[in-house]
Chains A and B, each alone.
Chain A
């Protein structure tokens, strides 16, 4: 994803290399924030905060870790903090989303709402389950990479991911039934 040479240059104080590096990772950082926080505005904030932290902490990155897991650890930590602070607001938006969706039952938009359903369902997951799912599906991380990013044991990662998928599957099934009835 990111070349080692670029990272080394950035670490040795090459500001231009560091900026280039940030540009290469900004979409990845934003995507994680977006799906964990389920809100564009908060995702922008969190991703910017993460990039600034990466900018200032680049010297503390050690090559024994993968760079991509290092940056995802930074962004997920920020998101989880933010998520905890924002909890009441998030749950209100959640209800609005579900409400809006149930009002609209036209066939042609059903496909578009499938993605919306999934996002609503992801939004129901506890924070760490959500982070595991996001890293698995939006960053294409392996179990080990997720474990490194979230600083969790491998078995915990698996159990979170499996439980999350089971819960999502149940929620989507409920949404589908709701949609048919609505």
Chain B
């Protein structure tokens, strides 16, 4: 074993990496070689000194020092989670057949309804003196509430019929909300709320809000049944609100009910919508969120609805002969694209110029 090899053995010895045999060989060499012995002494001294370097500690708690930053990270994180959860839950719903109610949405709506119902009961100074049936009515209103938000304008014009029971209401509500969720997609991404239930809930309320403000009276036929019980339920509440006797003779006003709805649910978000009536007075085009719907004014039926667009929809304008609707999609960074819908062919295309 030469001195170079011994150097490595000495180093490994410092790290307790030698077996017995190697230890023996090393010691034999050191006994004979003064240079190596001196080197080994210095290395052992160095190693001992390195081992005894002070175990320094920070002057103050680093964890305490970074706590504000950690809190901030948590806030960012939860905002991010809420946002992506909203996106993913809405995205999941998208491909679902509208005829099948979403049980998840149903759960959320029922929960939201109960919350809203409690709110109403506690909010309304009269409710304390009401009998049980009034309470029931209030509760069924709250379930119907979501669905009313969708169909309120229609409700105002419909004849009142007896309520068909809360079970039915919940089912109908589910249908309504799921249907809307499918159509509206993730348009209220700007709403950031932590609990998932509120998120779902706000989806319903937002959609309803945008629909009402656009005077959307139409609905798919699947929603028709929803209207009657809803109307009835609204009247009950409306009457209570007005302090009138609950005889259901006064037609509810959709706008008022709508304000009540968003107040009670504590949702302040507004999805802006733009409406443009065609020059011949036949159609009205409504941009809500990322979708444009064109309604026939006569019977409020939807004649055309765009797919979900990837930007804000603005600058709705009809051609003079009402055969075409032009609009712009504003994408990020101020860029925009021009589109037009041909009413005759129903083709939604990007303008070539």
Contact = CB atoms under 8 A, between A and B. Distances in A.
23 contacts: A15-B74, A19-B70, A30-B56, A31-B55, A31-B57, A35-B56, A43-B58, A48-B65, A56-B73, A115-B49, A133-B50, A136-B15, A137-B47, A138-B53, A138-B55, A142-B15, A143-B17, A165-B14, A166-B7, A166-B11, A168-B46, A169-B39, A169-B46
A73 to B, nearest CB: 18
The 8 A-B pairs of least Cβ separation, nearest first, read: A137-B50, A162-B11, A30-B58, A26-B62, A22-B63, A27-B57, A23-B63, A169-B46
A88 B58 CA distance: 25
A161 interface: yes
Interface string B53-72: 11111110111011001100
A136 B53 CA distance: 12
Contacts of B42: 169, 172-173
Interface residues of A, number: 39
B56 A31 contact: yes
Contacts of A74: none
Contacts of A161: 11, 15
A179 B11 CA distance: 27
A47 interface: yes
B141 to A, nearest CB: 38
- Per DSSP, are chain B's interface residues mostly helix, strand or loop, or mixed? helix
A75 B10 CA distance: 30
A52 B11 CA distance: 37
Nearest to B73: A56
A55 interface: yes
B35 to A, nearest CB: 13
Contacts of B15: 136, 142-143, 161
A118 interface: yes
B50 A162 contact: no
B352 interface: no
A165 B70 contact: no
Interface of A: 15, 19, 22-23, 26-27, 29-31, 34-35, 40, 43-44, 47-48, 51-52, 55-56, 114-115, 118-119, 133, 136-138, 142-143, 158, 161-162, 165-166, 168-169, 172-173
Given A137-B53, A162-B11, A52 B43 contact: no
Given A51-B62, A137-B47, A172-B42, 5 more contacts: A26-B63, A27-B55, A44-B58, A162-B7, A166-B43
Contacts of B51: 137
A161 B46 CA distance: 13
A34 B56 contact: yes
B8 interface: yes
Given A48-B65, A118-B53, A137-B53, A26 B46 contact: no
A55 B58 contact: no
A52 B58 contact: no
A98 B63 CA distance: 34
Nearest to B69: A52
Contacts of B7: 162, 166
Contact of A51 (B8, B43, B63): B63
Contacts of A52: 66, 69-70, 73
A55 B12 CA distance: 37
Contacts of A30: 56-58, 62
Contacts of A136: 15, 50
Nearest to B8: A162
Nearest to A40: B59
Given A52-B69, A143-B15, A165-B46, A47 B62 contact: yes
A23 B61 contact: yes
Contacts of B47: 137, 165
B54 to A, nearest CB: 7
Contacts of A165: 11, 14, 43, 46-47
Contacts of A169: 39, 42-43, 46
Contact of B53 (A19, A115, A143): A115
Nearest to B17: A143
Interface string B69-103: 11001100000000000000000000000000000
A142 B42 CA distance: 22
Nearest to B60: A44
A19 B15 CA distance: 34
